[in-house]
Amino acid sequence: MLLFKGTKFVILPNRNASSLKFLAELLVKEGGMLVNEEKEIDCDTIVLINDSFITNTNTIMKNELFFKEFDLDPSTVWNNVNTYKLKCVRATCISEWLRKSSFQINPELVLSVEDNLEDNSEDHSGVKFVTHSATPLYNYDLITAKLLKNSEKAARQIPEVYSSSQNKSENSELAGKSMETEVSNKMGEEVKRTVDISQTTSVPKGNEKLIQALGRLAKRYEMKGDQFRARGYKLARIGIEQYPFKIESGAQAQEEISNVGASIAKKIQTLLDNGSLPGLQELFESEKRVDYFTRCHDIGIYTAKKWEIMGLKSFSEACTIFPEDFTRDWPILFGWSYYEDWLKPIRRDECEKLASVVQQELHLIDPQMKVEILGSYHRGAEKCGDIDLFFYKAGCDDISEIGRIMEDLSISLYRKGYVQCFLQLTRKIYKAFNKIIINRLEKCHLKTTPTLQYTARDDNPRKFMLGVKLPDKEKRQFESITFVDNYKLKPEDMFMSLNSDRSPCRRMDFFCCKYSELGAARLQWIGPKEFNRWIRLKAMHNGLKLTQHGLYDNHNVLLESFDEQRIFQLLNEDYISPSERNHVVKKRRKV
DNA sequence: AGGCTGTACTG
DNA sequence: CAGTAC
DNA sequence: GCCT
DNA sequence: AGATG
DNA sequence: CATCT
C-alpha cells in the first residue's frame, strides 16, 4: 500500500531546505520517486514547491531567490514545467496526503504558475521570467536598486551619545574575589552582591513593536534553517533593545545601531509608516505551534517543524504519529512532563538553597571538591532560567575522577529525593533510573518492550543535566513568586504533567573542568552566550582560539587556561566583570 | 566573497 | 553525521 | 541578515 | 576584508 | 576612493 508508488516528483527550488529533507524521505518511503536530473522530468511529474516560496494568494514567488536556489538548471526545469503544464502544489501537501492516506490532487491545491502582475514578496522585487526565452534568467537591475538605497540615505544626526558599557572597572574587584567564595561561605543566608542596575534597561515606548517584529523574523528564518540570517535579525533586535532612544526612522536606526543594515532599516521604516510588515502576520499561527514544541527540552527546530508540517498541534498527537521520536529520544518525555516548571524563572535564593544541598552532599563524597554557581546567577540575575553548578578540585586534572564524583553525587541526590530526573544516562544512572523512564513511556501509552534498553556511556560524562526540586518541607519560603511568563501545556497534553506550582522542578546542570583549566572554563560557564561568542570572535581575529579548555595560538599551542584575567590580557581587553558581561557589546560603529 | 563560538553528548 | 544543548 |  | 576600477 | 564580491 505504497501511497506514491510510481509517481515522480520534483521539489523546487531544491530539496535541501531542512524541512523538506524529511518530507522527501517520507515520499520515498511511500514509493515516490524524486527527480535527480533535468531530463527525468516528464509530463506526469508532480512539482512540489517549498512553502516558503508560496504567497498567501497561492501563487509562486518567482523571484530571484527562488531560481537561484535551484539544484538543477533553473531554466531547463522551469521550461519543462511550463511546456508540460505540470501540476504544482505545496510541498506540505505530502503530509496532508499521508495523514489521510489518500493521494489526491484536488484542483484547489494546484498553484498558479502564470506570471502574476502584483508581486507582494516583501524582500525582493520581482524577476520577470520569460518562459520561451532561453536567455537571461535574471534581469534584476542591481544597479538601480543600489542607487535607490544610497539616495534615500539622508544623513541624520543624533546629538546625544549613548554608551553601552561605560562603567567597566567599577566593581571588577568584587567579581574577582567572589569567585572563590561564592558557594563556599554559608550560602543559605547572605551572599549579598551588588546587582547591576543598568541591567533593567527600559525600552523606549514605540520600539517594542520593532523588537517584536525582528524577533518574529528571526524565528521565521530559524525555522527555514537559515541560522545566519536569523542571527542577523537577532543581533539587530538586541541592538534595539539596548538603544535608549525612540527610533523615529529606519535611517536613524541604521546609523545609530550596529547590526542594522540597509534591509532591516527599510523594514523598520515600513513598520513605522504602516504599523505592520507585509507577511508578518500570516505565518504567525504556524510559528506559535513550532514555538510550543521548541520550548520543550530536547525539541529543537528540526523536530518541531517536522511535527508542525504534519499538522500536529500537541505532544500527545506527536506521540501517536511519531512514537519513535519519544522512545528513542526519551528525554523529551521529561521535557514534556516538566514543560511548565522548566519555563518558570528561579529566584536567586532558591538557587542558593539548592546549591547548598548539593554542596553538603558533595562534602560527604569528597571534601576537597569545590562547587560554584555560575551561569546567570553568577552574573547577578534576580531570576535564573536554570542552575549551573561548576565542580573542580584543587590540583586535580583528572577529569574522569571528577566525572565519577559528579555521577555519584547526582545518584545520591536522586536517592534522597532531590533529583527528579536525569537527561542522559551512564550505566549506574541507568540502573537507578530506568524504571522512571519506563513509567513515563507507559504514561503516554508508548509500548515498552521488555528488551527496551538504552545505551549508556562507558566513560564518565563531564556534564550532567538534571531535573531537581526541594522537598516539600524546605520549599515553603520560595512559594509566592509571581510569574510574568507562564507557559502552559495544552489541555490535551496535561495528562503527562508532573509540574507543581508549590514546588516546581528545576533544571540543574553539572559541569566540571581540569584544575589547570579553571579560568577558561569559568569564562565559558559564566557566559552569557553572546559574550562568549563576542570574545571568541575577538580571539579569532587575533589569530587565536578560545575554548572552555583555554586560549590557544594558531598552532594550537596553549597560551593560558588557568588565569581568567590573563586571558583578557592576552586578548587586549580590560577585565570585564560577570555582571558587565550581560550587555555584550558589539561596538557601535562610528563614534 | 566569505564568515558568523566552540564543544559535548546522543542515536 | 545531524540534531540538541550548553 | 550584517560585517569586514 | 580584499580585489578591482 | 567607491564599489563589488
Distance, CA of A543 to C1' of B6, in Å: 15
**Long-range interactions of A130-135: CB distance < 8 A, separation 24+:** A131/A78, A131/A79, A131/A82, A134/A75, A134/A79
Instruction: Indicate yes or no: strand D within 7 A of the C-beta of A260.
Output: yes
Given a cut of 60, is residue A345 above it in pLDDT?
yes
Q: State the CATH architecture for A341-512.
A: 2-Layer Sandwich (3.30)
Protein residue closest via CA to C1' of D4: A541
C-alpha cell at A97: 496526503
From A342, A374, A337, select the one nearest A469 (Cα to Cα).
A342
The C-alpha atoms of residue A377 and residue A360 are separated, in whole angstroms, by 19
From A358, A347, A341, select the one nearest A297 (Cα to Cα).
A341
Protein residue closest via CA to C1' of B3: A228
Q: Residues of A from 3 to 22 whose C-beta is within 7 A of strand C: which are they?
A: 18, 21
Given a cut of 90, is residue A570 above it in pLDDT?
yes
The whole-number pLDDT of residue A350 equals 96
A8-125 folds as Rossmann fold (3.40.50)
Residues of A annotated as catalytic are 267
C-alpha cell at A440: 513515563
CA neighbours closer than 13 Å in the CB half-sphere of residue A410: 32
User: Given phi > 0 = left and psi -120 to 50 = alpha, else beta, which region is A226?
Assistant: beta
Instruction: Indicate yes or no: strand F within 7 A of the C-beta of A155.
Output: no
Q: pLDDT over 90 for what percent of chain A?
A: 56
Q: pLDDT tens digit string along A222-243?
A: 988 889 999 999 999 999 999 9
Protein residue closest via CA to C1' of B6: A547
Instruction: Indicate yes or no: strand F within 7 A of the C-beta of A146.
Output: yes
Cβ proximity of A406 and A512 under 8 Å? yes
The whole-number pLDDT of residue A53 equals 79
What is each CA distance from A455 to A298, A428, A430, A440, in whole angstroms?
Answer: 17, 12, 9, 18
State the sign of the Cα–Cα–Cα–Cα dihedral A287, A201, A564, A571: positive
The whole-number pLDDT of residue A6 equals 86
Domain ranges in chain A are: 8-125, 341-512
Q: What is the pTM of this model?
A: 0.84
Distance, CA of A86 to C1' of B11, in Å: 40
The whole-number pLDDT of residue A299 equals 98
Instruction: Indicate yes or no: strand F within 7 A of the C-beta of A151.
Output: no
Higher pLDDT, A591 or A388: A388
